[in-house]
Every structure is written in structure tokens, then in C-alpha cells.
A and B are shown apart, each in its own frame.
Chain A
Amino acid sequence: MRFKSPLIAISAVGVLALSACGGSGSDNSGSADQTKQNENIGNTGNFQDASAKGPVTISGAKTGGIVTVLTLTGVQTTIDPSEVYYVDTSSILSGLVTRSLTQYKYDPSTKQMILVPDLATDLGTHNDNYTQWKFTIRPGVKWGENGKPVTAQDVAFGMTRCMDAATFPTGACPYYSNAYFKGGSKYKGMYTDPGSKFNGIKVNGQTITINMAKPFPDMPYWGTFPANGPVPSDKTVSDPKNYKKHPWSTGPYMIKSFNQSKELVLKKNPYWEASTDPARTQYPDGYDFKLQQQSEKIDQIMLADTGTGQTSLTYDDLLAPDFQQMKQKAPDRLTLGGSPCTYYWAPDNRKITNKKVREALSWAYPYKNVILAGGLIPNVNAIPATNLMPPGLPGRTAYNVTGRQGFNSDPAKAKALLKSANAMGYEIKFLFRTDDPISVKGKDAIVKGLTEGGFKATPVPTTTANYPAARDNTSEDINVRSAGWCSDWPSGSTWLPTVLGSTDPDKSHSFGANFSAFGNKAADNQMNAIQTMPLEKQADAWNALDKQIATKYFPLFTTYYTGIAQAHGSKIMGDNDDNTLGMPTWKDIWVNQ
């Protein structure tokens, strides 16, 4: 899954106190308890509850009040449920507005998210080899906009609608629905090719049957995405041009007004019934998302905690100095935890073909200085990284290919490696954004570090607006790209095929999410093989493959894992970390009046 905004790549920040994944020398904050907790970041793999039932009640929770949400970068991308694939829009839609086949529920005792049914009555039933899934849609769910019942037809329509890659280019469906559903790879979509019919999804009464082209054991997880929920089949309502301005509601809240880049106001959906929903609640009267607020301003509102600030929360990370203040002043108003994301530096494997040079790069990269320059909070939202797959993925065991510890760099080792590769003074060309002070500072630190490590560092200037296009350009004159990736759900299948599966950038002119341009037939075949394995063996197999690729090819090196350092006002209750996304647990929030 993509980060909150396409711009965040280097400057993003997250939180959680961890120290000892991969045996790093911890700085100060790593008690055994925390370590254990961090190993479970995003770990929903073992937590499923197919029998969860509504209504959900929170003891002591009061109704009423408006929750104000402040954010700088949030909700900049589309909110059409067929296309949302950014962390924040996905979380807000599935937490408050749109329902889908399945969903996550926060478990306060384990601080983990549990996979529970949503519109489906259970987590689906499958045949022996996971090539057919059946979901039964529960009765009694109504559209907030007109009060009419939501039918299985509406759900099937929504699931088919998103498979139009040309109409919803940034959506998630091309990676999953089109890739796994039978006939999906050939289906162009109902808008691009109006004449064609998609036969992979069949509706019989309240039952939806999905036939797969290849085994897809992760279907219940894929079902949590808003894309796998209902969309009104009335063509005038669901027209992609207009629907993104006002997606219809099936959840506890509906859109009152939406002004792109300014404000999103939610009000109660009068037709939502708690008894039909195993996870969501409807305590506050509404939500008011104020977008493009300055980070400094948000932090001051959070620190001051007066007036509406008391009923406000932010899902942006606090700035480092403000985080320290908040930690002293009101640690109870901090929302900390994991988010299942990894940042990494991806050498272009087409250009930097020598593995030793890539390894040398991982030793020369000045982790500490980049984190300092970025204003990240070590061990809170920047956690020493080893594996590509972050902690919390089932079956993950930390490995360490190079033996580098924590955030340490070693210029001498980098030089030695370069020397043995006969590549002293190897030129590293990387992008930075001239109009983003954090990016400029990070660039300075990287140049210094790489130069000390025996490289020749050549930063290539670009602007924030041009950055994504320049980075995605397969023929740009750079040889390292900075990137990040988050789990779509806790499984290696959302990591290795997307981040390291061949995309043949020379021919396809697209990296997808494979910014290292790593392409290896044997690895591709292994990925395909793992996906047909029995489910219980997959987790270990993914992790083994992750380690094997790193040992054998070292295509990229991880810089840090993320966590969150969010804050909320003193009257906001139930704001915890949804560690599947690194976002607030919207479903449990209430206002203590």
C-alpha cells in the first residue's frame, strides 16, 4: 500500500518504540515488553474472528460531539472507493464511510487488529485450492443516501467497477482483482470497454461467488479494501467523474461536504444499524477533516489542548521537538505504535550491477544523519531495519545479511568493499527536492556520508511536484531511488512480488513498485510457486525467499521501518494505532463531553 501522500517518500515519518529487531544495539527505549510488541507490528495474521457480531458497544462511551481531524498531507488523493490505495483515504473510508466484504477490528487487550466480517456474514468460504471464494451478504444494510437496501448485486458491481485500470489508474485492483480473478487479466473495465462482460464474479441471491484464475488464499484480507464494497449500480450515480466527489455511504457516517484539499465533513448515516456491523460504532455526531493544515500549527493545537483542540486529533506525526514536549507534558495524549512500512534505498540493478557496490552503499549510507536531518524520532517513527518485510508479518524472522548493526554506518568498510570491487569513486546519482528543506538537508547528509565511504555523490535536483514522475521515469539519469512500501495485509505476497517481482522496466517503461529494477526469473518462479503452496507454509516460505534474495543478490537495502507519533486532544477517547495501516482506530473513537 502506498503512503499517505505520494510526496512523502523521504520526509515521511512514523512511530513506535522498538529496539531489538535484528539485534540492533538499542539506544534507550527497548524494554523486553516493547520488543515483543514491536515484533507484532501489523500482525493480524493469527487474529481472525469469523463469528464476530454487532452491535459493538464501548463501555462508558458517550454519544455526541464533533471530532476535528487536522492533517497537512492527508486526503490529497481520490476518495472513490474503487481507487483508494493510500493509507489515509483507505483508513478513513473503511473506518467510517464505506463497508466492504471484510474489515479489521481493534482488540485493546492485544493491541492488534482482528480480521472480522463486514458486509459478508463470515470471512468467506473457499474450495480446497483457494480458486473459488463464496461470500454471503448480510441483509439489513442500507444506503445512507436513499435508505434503500444494499444488495449483493451492488457489491458485485463495486468489485467489478474497480477492475478498470485505465479509469482508476492509482487503485489497487489491477494488482489483485485483475491479477487473481478469473478473466481479470483480460478484462479492460466497464468504462474503458463498455461492451464487455466480466464473468469472474457471480451473484446468486445473497451469495457472491468469485472464481480465481490462480489460488488466492488472501481473499478475506483483500476484502477489507473499500474497492471490494458496494457501489450503486445506477450509472448516473456511480459515474467515475462524479462519484469521487461523493461516494455513497454504507458505514456509520456519510459525506456532508467534501472540498478537495480543504475540508471533508462527515455526518451520521441515519440508516446505519449497529446490529449489522461487527466492528464500527457511531458515537460522535460527526467528523470534520481539516486538510492542508501547517504541521507547526497542528502541533501547537495539540500541545495547547484548549477549546476545539480538546476534541481534535491528527494522524500526521508530530515534529521531533514537539514530540519531545508532548512526551513530557501529556504522554497519555500520544498515539504510538507500528505501521507496516519499510523505507529503502533502491540501487538501479540495471546500472549498479556489482553486488559489492550495492553492499558498500549500505555501509556508507549515513542512517543517523539522515534521520536527524529528517526530524525523525529514532525508535519511535524510525526503527533500524534489516529485512525488507517489516516486523509483524507472519513467519518473519529477522536476518542480517551484511552484519551492519542498527543505524550504524562504516565508511571504512564501504571503502574496502569498493576497493575489492575495483570501483573506488563510484558515482551515485540520486534525486532530491530543492523546495523541500528536509530533502535538501537529507541530501547534504547523504553526500557527506557517501563521499566518506569512497563514493562520488551526485545529487540531482528536482522539485516536489516533479519528483514522483522523475523517480518513476525508467530512463532518468539516476542510479539510486529512495522508496517505501507498506503491507496491504500481513503477508509476504504483498511485498516480494510487488517490490522485487520483475517488471522489465526497459520494455514496459514502468517500475511498478520495483524501484530497484530487480528482475530474476528464478526468483519470479519461486514467488509464483509460493502462492500455490498451502496457506500455512506460505509465511515461512516468503520470509525464506526474502532472505535468499537479500543474501544472493542484495538488490536493495532498507533504511528504516516506520511507526507513528500521532496525538489527540484530551476529550478524544479510543484513538489507538491501527497497525495494519498506521492510522487511528476510527471505529472506536468517541468524545468525552
Chain B
Amino acid sequence: MGISATELAEAPVGAAEAPEGKKLAGRSPTQIALLRLRQDKLALACFMIVVLLILCGIFAPVICNLLNIYPTAATIPYDPSQVLDFNTGLPLQGPPNHGFWAQHPLGLAPQTAVDNLARLLYGLRTSLFVATAATVFSTLFGVVLGLVAGFSRGWMDRIIMFVTDLFLSFPFILGALAMSPIIVSHFAKPGQLGILSKVQLFSLIGILVIFTWMPLCRLIRGQVLSLREREFVQAAQVMGVPTRRILFKELLPNLVAPIVVATSLSLPAFVTAEAGLSYLGIGITGIPTLGQTIFDAQNWWEVYPLYLWAPVLTICALVLALNLLGDSIRDAFDPRTRR
């Protein structure tokens, strides 16, 4: 990643981007980074897009209520065979064969007659929830284990690094593929369907976390290894500051930059990973996701392009915006990109 926290800690505050008439002293590296971000038009645009999509996800139930649309086959109040052409499975009103239909702005899904917009909003909600939760937990794991490993050295370090390598060597997709049926068979009893979908949701997050905390852990450990030899840490040790305090008050603030960057770049990765797993059929049952929608829509590409376009473009916009934003954040935090 090429960020050195030592440089950040010591870096002289660049005079070039300081607005006129302001004091040069007293600004932390984070403040500088935020200032630079604010001046980055691309970053701002991406930020707006992400916020908009997040709002869509958060307020999906409200929007669906307002528009009177429903996201799952179980909730639709009408009979699918009444609104679909029985021979082709395509909707009798709205896209693809008829004009815009205000009641269902993105049309109805073929075969199931679920509203495409409602499904998209709820899918976005699931995707964002999974990605956010997975990012938070994998960052937490990675940072804590990295801090402990780097600071303790000795046997603790060796054990943690061994575990890290062990997890790194385990194939992610294989793990996910193996886990899914085990969970399902565990809940293969009547009346447990409601629990199953929740368990699947959280096990999906769990799988994503379990297989993604390692790189951050290694990164943090490397940073800590070099930081712990620095004078301010040694001084704290000499003064008898407790280890916990050294870890979280002395070391962690110096690691904000790599953590922010790693987080902002892992969010889009989780969005795509969730979609990919849902597409492979090892995601969640009963809750709409973008990956499932894409899987369903691919067969209909030629006769009903909008059905596929909507989720694909949404996921593209989300991942692209998150990635560009992540890149901008990295640039903003990286002292070597200062002009």
C-alpha cells in the first residue's frame, strides 16, 4: 500500500495547499487529508453517489410503501398469473413490450411478477448491510490482532501470524461453498425457515469476515513493528504506561491512515463478493440481493434487457464510486502524493 505511518507522523505540514491567511501549525495529518479530499471533485461526486445509494438502501421500506410496490413473491398482493403472459412469462403491462408504467417504474420481473424497483432497493439494502458489517468486523479483527501481534512479538506474534497464514492459505470460495449446505441442512426442519434466512445472512457476513481480515492484520503488524521502536513509545514504556494504553492511545492514532484506506477499499470488494456468492447460489434465501437478481435476469437479457441492466448498473455505480472514493482517500492520506 506504500503508506508509512512514520512519515505521516513526522511529515512537515506542506505549505503549498494551506489556504491563505491561515495558520500553518496545528493541523493533524487527518485534517490535511480531509482538506485535500474536499478539494477533489471526483471524490466529492463519488461521495454523493455513495450517500445517495446508502439513503436508498436505508429508506427502501419507506420508498416501497410510498410507491406501493413489494420486493418478494411472498408479499405481492396480486396474483402473478393475472399480470404476466402465461405463455412467455413476460409482464402484460410496462417494459419490455409496453411503454412506461407508472405503478411499476422499472417494470415487473418475468415469471414471478415481483416489482423490479422494490427488489433493487431491498437488494441494495442487503448488499450494503452485508458489506458494511463485514468491513467493520474484519477491520476490527485485523486491527486488534495486528496491534497485539506487532507489539508483543515473541510467541504471541508467532501464533497470530501462523493463524493469519493458515487462513490466507484457505481458499475462500471453497470455504463458502462448503459452509452453505452445512448451515441449510442444520435448519432443514419445518418452521425454521425464518431463522434460516437470518442465520444465512449472518453466516455470510461471518464467512466474508473470516476470510478477509488477514491482509489488514499483516499490514498493521508491520506498521506496529516499526512504530514500537520509536522514541515516543519507548518513553511511554519507561514511564510505566499500561500496554493497553500504549496500544490504543499511542500506536492506534498513528495507524488511522492505513486503516481508513484499507476500509474504503474493502467496502466495494465486499459488495462484489456478496453479489458473487449470491450469484453462485450460496448466499441468502428469502431476502432479495443484487447478486440473485442478476442471476435471475441473465436468462432474460435478450427479451427483457432492463431487468438485467438495473441491478448491474446499480452495482457498477456503487462499486465504482466506492473504489474511486477509496483511491482518493488513499491519495489524500499519502504524503508522497503531495504536490
Contacts and interface: CB of A to CB of B under 8 A. Distances in A.
Interface of A: 27-28, 295-296, 319-322, 324-325, 366, 368-369, 371-375, 377-379, 407, 427, 429, 434-437, 440-441, 444-445, 447-448, 458-463, 465-466, 470, 477-478
Contacts, number: 115
B178 to A, nearest CB: 12
Contacts of A462: 184-185, 188
A432 to B, nearest CB: 9
A429 B190 CA distance: 7
Given A448-B74, A461-B188, A325 B303 contact: yes
Interface string B282-293: 100110000010
A378 B285 contact: no
12 contacts: A321-B110, A324-B88, A325-B303, A372-B113, A375-B89, A407-B86, A434-B196, A435-B184, A458-B191, A458-B193, A462-B185, A463-B184
Nearest to A428: B190
Decide if the interface of chain A is mainly helix, strand, loop or mixed.
mixed
A440 B285 contact: yes
Interface string B185-208: 101111111001000000000000
Interface stretch (B77-85, B121-129, B320-328): B77-85
Given A378-B86, A440-B285, A444-B74, A321 B302 contact: yes
A72 to B, nearest CB: 13
Contacts of A321: 88-89, 110, 299-300, 302-304
B72 interface: yes
Contact of B292 (A371, A378, A437): A437
Contacts of B303: 321, 324-325
Contacts of B181: 435, 463, 465-466
A463 B185 contact: yes
B292 A460 contact: no
Given A375-B111, A462-B184, A465-B181, A27 B86 contact: yes
Nearest to B196: A461
Contacts of B188: 460-462, 466, 470
A461 B285 contact: yes
Q: Range of interface residues on chain B? A: 35 or more
B172 interface: no
Contact of B193 (A325, A436, A459, A477): A459
B52 interface: no
Interface string B110-135: 11110000000000000000000000
Contact of A437 (B72, B113, B190, B296): B296
Give the secondary structure class of B's interface.
Answer: loop
Interface in B264-295: 281-282, 285-286, 292, 295
Contacts of B300: 321
B111 A477 contact: no
A320 B80 contact: no
A323 to B, nearest CB: 9
B73 interface: yes
B184 A372 contact: no
Nearest to A367: B81
Interface in B146-203: 180-181, 184-185, 187-193, 196
Given A462-B188, A477-B189, 14 more contacts: A27-B87, A321-B88, A321-B303, A368-B80, A369-B80, A372-B111, A372-B112, A435-B184, A435-B281, A437-B292, A441-B73, A459-B193, A463-B180, A470-B188
Given A28-B87, A440-B285, A461-B188, A369 B180 contact: no
A296 B74 contact: no
A296 B80 CA distance: 24
B234 interface: no
B298 interface: yes
Contact of A444 (B112, B185, B190, B296): B112
A447 B184 contact: no
Contacts of A458: 190-191, 193
A372 B81 contact: yes
A405 to B, nearest CB: 14
Nearest to A375: B111
Contacts of B298: 296
Which residue of A378, A434, A462 has the most chain B CB atoms within 10 A of its CB atom? A434
B112 A373 contact: yes
Contacts of B185: 462-463, 466
A13 B196 CA distance: 29
Contact of A373 (B111, B180, B282, B285): B111
Contacts of B88: 320-321, 324
